[in-house]
Each structure stands twice: as C-alpha cells, then as structure tokens.
Amino acid sequence: MSDFSNGAAYVDEKFVPITEAKISILDWGFLHSDATYDVAHVWQGKFFRLDDHIERFLSGIDRLRMSIPYNRGDLRSILVDCVKASGLREAYVEMICTRGRPKPGSRDPRECTNRLFVFAVPFVWIANPEKQKKGLHLIISHIQRIPPESVDPTVKNYHWLDMVMGLFEAYDRGGETVAVVDAQGNLVEGPGFNIFVVNGNKITTPAHGVLEGITRRTVIELSTEYGYEAIQHNLSADKARTADEMFVTSTAGGVIPVTKIDGGKIGSGMPGPVTQKLQEGYWMVHQDPRYTFDIEYD
C-alpha cells in the first residue's frame, strides 16, 4: 500500500507518493530553468481561485511556446485528484510544465517534448500564524531583480538566484526576508510574494517588473470593496520605510504583516489596522462560493 501521507504527485500520467516523484536530470526544466509553474491552495477542503491559477498557468505555457495535451477541464481534474489522493484538507498544490528533453545532442527547443508535473503537499507558510502576529522584518536588498525585458515576470518562473542571494543578504543584516529592487532602486517583489504599503486611505503595490499574483489580485479587489484607494505604482525605498503599514501577499500565507524594514519600525512596529482588516477579509472569502469549491474526498 503506497503512503500518500506526505503528499501526492502526478508524474507520467499516474499518481504516486510525493517521495517517489522524479524528474529526469536531462530535462531542461532542471538543466536550464526552462519551465513555468503555478501554485494554488486548498483550505478547509476547498480550492481557492483554482480557475484563475489554471488560466495564468496555461497563459504562461503558451507564451513560452510550450504545450501540454490537456485542456482546462483535464488539468482541473488532475489537480483535484492529486489532492484527493493525498487526503490533505490544507494543501499547497503546484503544477509545472518543463521544456522536457530534446534528442541526444540537440540544442533545439522545438525538439523537446514538454512535460506536466503536479503535486500536492501540506500547506506551506512564508510566515505561520504565530509569526504573523508579530510581523516580519524585511530587508531592502541592493540586488536587482532580473529586468522584465529579459525574463517576463508575469510568466511564473524559477529564475530565483537574484532573490536567493538577496535572502542571504537579508540574513546577514539581521532580517527575515527580502525585497529586491529594479534599476532605479524601487522595490519590486520578494521570494514568493508581492509587496504593499499603506499610507492613510491609499494602498500601493509595485506596478512593473512583478508577478501579478492571485493573492495580490484578491487584496486589490478587497481594498476597493472596503473603500481604500488601491494604486499600482513605483514604490521607492523611502516611501516603504516611512509608510504607516506594510504587508506582503502570497499563496503561501495570504496577507502577511511587515513591521520592520532594515532594522527600523514601520508605524507602531505591530501589524496595523488596515493590514489586519485585509488579512481577515482574505480568509473570509475562502468561504465564498464565487472563489472556492469543495473537494469531494473519497
């Protein structure tokens, strides 16, 4: 009897325990970071905004000139069945398309057979609920994000070395996470999250060079619904350091307060009222049938 307690994966058209999931060392997804992916999540047995994640994933596949032999309905079924195989009611669910392998000796990406991988593992937190009560200490890195003219950030990708080295810089400077910048020194994004600052009734998030996150979209929608002015604009380091509040958004944890930047407090040094309102609203919409659907576990 296979053990799916740590998660399940869909590889080579079959479901296997996550510990048995493998990718060829010759796959260009591994060798060249030639892949796109997306991450949805399941909370209390419900998928959240799954169709939005599928749409973004398939758009990324198309823009990278890849293809998979599955339509939206097929992919949705695979994702649901992967979660059902795992039995997880709170899950982090990733879908990946890699370039695959070309013929031996070939450097022609047109000769590759693109491959789909899916897996579901226990829910992943950038900062768990206990950490979120205090808020994160974020460091603004000197490292620049790969420019969008080189790698389109709206196609979710694994080009993360800039953010990984930024994380090491943050740890060296006593922080817990990092924001990388553009060529003008504006904040762009962090490893797995979008950035927001609050000043009065205005909530600002970087407009360019960022992944247009599904959680980011949810927060922009909630902000408008709650009567705040949601702005997508350049975000300078000075504006971030002097904000009333700051938070980041991610599938891996929702709305996550940031209470220190570069060693200095933001506002009171505790999660602010706007952040807390959006945080509560984000988890409330996980019960809204417009965004969720129940998984029928066996």
Q: Tokens 């407009």 identify what position?
A: 207
Beta bridge partners of 9: 16, 119
Q: How far apart are CA 101 and CA 27, in angstroms?
A: 5
- List, for residues 249-278, the tens digit of each pLDDT value: 999 999 999 999 999 999 999 999 999 999
Mean pLDDT in the chain?
Answer: 96
Q: Crossing angle for the helix pair 273-284 and 214-225, nearest 10 degrees?
A: 110
Query: Which pLDDT value is given to residue 21?
Result: 96
Task: Evaluate if residue 196 carries a pLDDT over 90.
Answer: yes
Residue 106 pLDDT > 80, yes or no? yes
pLDDT band at 24 (very low <50, low <70, confident <90, very high): very high
pLDDT reported for residue 244: 97
Q: What percent of the chain has pLDDT over 90?
A: 97
For the chain, domain boundaries: 8-122, 129-286
pLDDT digits (tens, 9 = 90+) for 126-149: 999 999 999 999 999 999 999 999
Range of lowest pLDDT (3-7, 61-65, 284-288): 3-7
CATH architecture of the domain covering 8-122: 2-Layer Sandwich (3.30)
pLDDT, average across residues 18-25: 96
Dihedral angle over CA of 123, 41, 274, 276, nearest 10: -30
Give the model's confidence band at 298: pLDDT under 50 very low, under 70 low, under 90 confident, else very high: confident
pTM of the predicted protein model = 0.95
What is the number of other CB atoms lying within 10 angstroms of the CB of residue 112?
A: 19
Determine whether domain 129-286 maps to CATH 3.30.365.10. Answer: no
The predicted-structure confidence for 208-231, as pLDDT tens digits, reads as follows 999 999 999 999 999 999 999 999
Q: Give all strands (DSSP E) within 29-165, no chain letters.
A: 35-43, 46-48, 91-98, 115-122, 136-144
Confidence of residue 1 (pLDDT cuts 50, 70, 90): low
Instruction: Categorize the per-residue pLDDT at 207 as very low, low, confident or very high, splitting at 50, 70 and 90.
Output: very high
In this predicted structure, what is the pLDDT of residue 12? 94
